[in-house]
A and B are shown apart, each in its own frame.
Chain A
Amino acid sequence: MTIAAFGALAALALLLAPLVGSTRIHLGAVFDRSIPYANNTDAQIFFVARLPRVIAAALVGSALALSGVVFQALLRNPLASPDTLGVSAGASLGAIVAITFDLDVSVGGISAVPLVSFAGSLGALAIVYGLSKARRRGTSALVLLLGGVTLHMVLSAVISFVQYLADFTQTFRNVRWLMGSLDVASYTPIAGALGPMAIAWVGFATLPRVLDLVSVGTESAATRGVDVLRTERIALVSASLATGAAVSLAGPVSFVGIIVPHLVRLIVGSDHRLVLPASALFGGAFLIGCDLVARTIIAPLELPVGIVTAMIGGPVFLWLLFRKA
């Protein structure tokens, strides 16, 4: 029931967001078959200029929100997210390296930027996760988060270093990219990110119930019949894939991975069989909404969406923090 409501919200966002923008268009005209497509500017704006961007927002938003949910449950830390763990920064570094040095590799149809982003996110995650395992019992939430924040800063420095090596125009492109933008301009980058995201979704689909048990404790989960090691592997690889794909598509878009899961839990409770799908849907709708603000607030100029999510997400996150305390 609740999931249906979240689904309706996401569908509505997907359909209505492309109608809004600096140029007015009408839904009726968009789907009016009597006007040939070549003459139908409404349809062209809808399908070419806006829909790809909205679809990208939906995919990126849901991928980041899902990754956030998975990190929080797996590390038993409500403040874990792709941003706070440094996973986004890892993915960004990967993408920046791929963009700056124009890497030309591809594996199984996945092109260089998403591929190296994934490698970056997985690498960062391996470091943070290693950190969480290094002390055999009870790594405090604080240690893990400080580790993640430190990693984030170190990776940011490496990103700066790569930028320093790049030439002027490349640096400008990189800086823009690092602001987090959904300006994908066509369906091609979306298609590129879809492969890794689809694999991640399959992984996520196996997780909901085990995440409930693992969030209470790995050892108690094991005694209840959960294959903890397998769960951790699937969860971490899926979340890295999703984060890598999201970052390769939009750059680092912050706060989605942390505030969406918390807002969703306020509504549906803690059962991951609800939290996971609801976060995917709400994450998509949320980022579409933020991007709508980004596109319209200083129209005809378009803001990078990362600026909007940080400006909205930061205060919301602080509110969540103080609400608990």
Chain B
Amino acid sequence: MIETRDVSFSYARRRGGAPLVVDGVSLTIPRGAIAGLLGPNGSGKSTLVRLISGVMAPLSGGIWIAGRPIGEYSRLDLARRLAVVPQETHATFDFTVIDMVLMGRYAHLGPFELEGPSDQRIARDALAATGTSALELRSFSSLSGGEKQRVVIASALAQASDLLLLDEPTTSLDLAYQFEIGALLKRLNAERGTTMVMSTHDLNLAAAVCDRIILLKEGRVIAQGPTAEILTVERIRQLYGVEADVQFHPRAGHVTVVPIGRSR
């Protein structure tokens, strides 16, 4: 579904100016997977998400979405294929929830075309899928953080239910909402087969939700594979410099990570 080959990127205009933020990253994320992108601050997670989303072009290397090079997609084609859920969404004006979700239909409409009944239906389906139908006519800015994030995910689903890129989607949410979003992502993946790539700092969220993990450090991939194989004591030490206990938790039904202290 998503493949990157030797992708590098630097925020400096020319090569050699600034260090590479993303350095020779090669990934394969199969269709239907939920891949977690883990790494310390500044490891290039967000940059990698932005590169895959097509808002920036890599300095070198190639990215393929559904077997086609990303450069061959037009802006609108790509938007119909792939949607992004940012960390936080702040609407300047007072849009209603359904307005926000209908904005996801932009790429599906002609230049002066208004949303028709089918767009309305898709938007309502997306609200239902994220459990936000009751909020339809509420003002987006009046919602709680968790409600907002669910609405933004609904908007992304209305745009493209094939492929979602989520950039630290739970960072600004409290524990209950983190659970809620995690469960929602798993359910969408199971029901719709949506492929997801999620960057996160939350190792336990990644353990609960993701079936694959990619570890990024200083712009490089240090490991990728099935969650249980990648989330290990050694890898966590290598990645964060933190000692942790990693155990399968029978009640949670997945491995859990308990950080103990900084490695010395």
Q: Which residues in B have their C-beta under 8 angstroms from that of A219?
A: 50, 55, 84, 86
Contact of B83 with A223 in the complex, beta carbons under 8 Å = yes
B165 CB to nearest A CB, Å: 8
* Interface positions of A (Cβ within 8 A of B): 72-73, 76-78, 206, 209-210, 212-213, 215-217, 219-220, 222-227, 265, 269-271, 273
Measured between alpha carbons, how far is A112 from B84 in the docked complex, in Å?
A: 48
Contact of A224 with B99 in the complex, beta carbons under 8 Å = no
Decide: A216 near B103, CB < 8 A? Known: A223-B79, A223-B84.
Answer: yes
Measured between alpha carbons, how far is A273 from B54 in the docked complex, in Å?
A: 27
Number of interface residues of B (CB under 8 A): 31
Measured between alpha carbons, how far is A77 from B104 in the docked complex, in Å?
A: 22
Q: A73-B92, A210-B106, A271-B99 are in contact. List 9 more A-B contacts (CB 8 A).
A: A213-B106, A216-B103, A219-B84, A223-B82, A224-B106, A224-B107, A226-B75, A265-B93, A269-B95
Specify which of A76, A206, A226, A269 is in contact with B92 (CB 8 Å cutoff): A76
Contact of A226 with B99 in the complex, beta carbons under 8 Å = no
Contact of A213 with B79 in the complex, beta carbons under 8 Å = no
Contact of B103 with A213 in the complex, beta carbons under 8 Å = yes
Measured between alpha carbons, how far is A191 from B107 in the docked complex, in Å?
A: 39
Decide: A220 near B84, CB < 8 A? Known: A225-B79, A226-B106, A270-B99.
Answer: yes
Measured between alpha carbons, how far is A224 from B76 in the docked complex, in Å?
A: 7
Contact of B92 with A225 in the complex, beta carbons under 8 Å = no
Contact of A209 with B92 in the complex, beta carbons under 8 Å = no
Specify which of A206, A216, A225, A265 is in contact with B107 (CB 8 Å cutoff): A225
A47 CB to nearest B CB, Å: 36
Q: Which residues in B have their C-beta under 8 angstroms from that of A209?
A: 106, 109
Asked if B159 lies at the interface with its beta carbon under 8 angstroms from chain A, I say: yes
Specify which of B92, B95, B111 is in contact with A77 (CB 8 Å cutoff): B92
**Interface majority SS (helix, strand, loop, mixed), chain B:** mixed
Measured between alpha carbons, how far is A223 from B80 in the docked complex, in Å?
A: 10
Q: Mark B78-97, 1 if CB is under 8 A from A, else 0.
A: 11101110100111111110
Contact of B92 with A223 in the complex, beta carbons under 8 Å = no
Asked if B149 lies at the interface with its beta carbon under 8 angstroms from chain A, I say: no
Measured between alpha carbons, how far is A217 from B86 in the docked complex, in Å?
A: 10
Measured between alpha carbons, how far is A72 from B94 in the docked complex, in Å?
A: 13
Name 13 interchain pairs, CB-CB below 8 A, sorted by A: A76-B92, A215-B93, A216-B91, A216-B100, A222-B55, A223-B53, A223-B79, A225-B76, A225-B106, A225-B107, A227-B75, A270-B91, A273-B114
B71 CB to nearest A CB, Å: 15
Decide: A224 near B104, CB < 8 A? Known: A269-B94, A270-B94, A270-B95.
Answer: yes
Q: Which residues in A have their C-beta under 8 angstroms from that of B50?
A: 219
Measured between alpha carbons, how far is A213 from B93 in the docked complex, in Å?
A: 11
Q: Which residues in B have their C-beta under 8 angstroms from that of A72?
A: 92-93
Q: Which residues in A have their C-beta under 8 angstroms from that of B106?
A: 209-210, 213, 224-226
Measured between alpha carbons, how far is A271 from B55 in the docked complex, in Å?
A: 25
Q: Mark B214-227, 1 if CB is under 8 A from A, else 0.
A: 00000000000000
Q: Which residues in B have their C-beta under 8 angstroms from that of A224?
A: 79, 83, 103-104, 106-107, 159
The 6 nearest A-B residue pairs measured at CB: A225-B79, A225-B107, A270-B93, A223-B84, A76-B92, A225-B76
Measured between alpha carbons, how far is A217 from B100 in the docked complex, in Å?
A: 12
Specify which of B78, B86, B114 is in contact with A225 (CB 8 Å cutoff): B78
Q: Which residues in A have their C-beta under 8 angstroms from that of B111?
A: 206
Measured between alpha carbons, how far is A165 from B254 in the docked complex, in Å?
A: 79
Decide: A265 near B55, CB < 8 A? Known: A223-B79, A227-B75, A271-B99.
Answer: no
Q: Which residues in A have their C-beta under 8 angstroms from that of B103?
A: 212-213, 216, 224
Question: B residues 19-63 with Cβ under 8 Å of A?
Answer: 50, 53-55
Measured between alpha carbons, how far is A209 from B76 in the docked complex, in Å?
A: 14
Contact of A215 with B92 in the complex, beta carbons under 8 Å = yes
Measured between alpha carbons, how far is A215 from B54 in the docked complex, in Å?
A: 20
Specify which of A73, A210, A223 is in contact with B54 (CB 8 Å cutoff): A223
B256 CB to nearest A CB, Å: 33
Residue of A nearest to B11 (CB): A136
Q: Which residues in A have their C-beta under 8 angstroms from that of B80?
A: 225
Q: Which residues in B have their C-beta under 8 angstroms from that of A269?
A: 94-96, 99
Residue of A nearest to B113 (CB): A209
Measured between alpha carbons, how far is A76 from B89 in the docked complex, in Å?
A: 12
A212 CB to nearest B CB, Å: 6
Measured between alpha carbons, how far is A222 from B80 in the docked complex, in Å?
A: 12
B29 CB to nearest A CB, Å: 17
Q: Which residues in A have their C-beta under 8 angstroms from that of B114?
A: 273
B105 CB to nearest A CB, Å: 9
Q: Which residues in B have their C-beta under 8 angstroms from that of A273?
A: 114
B138 CB to nearest A CB, Å: 13
Select the residue from A77, A209, A220, A269 with max chain B CB neighbours within 10 A: A220
Q: Which residues in B have their C-beta under 8 angstroms from that of A73?
A: 92-93
A194 CB to nearest B CB, Å: 24
Q: Which residues in A have their C-beta under 8 angstroms from that of B83?
A: 223-224
Measured between alpha carbons, how far is A72 from B93 in the docked complex, in Å?
A: 9
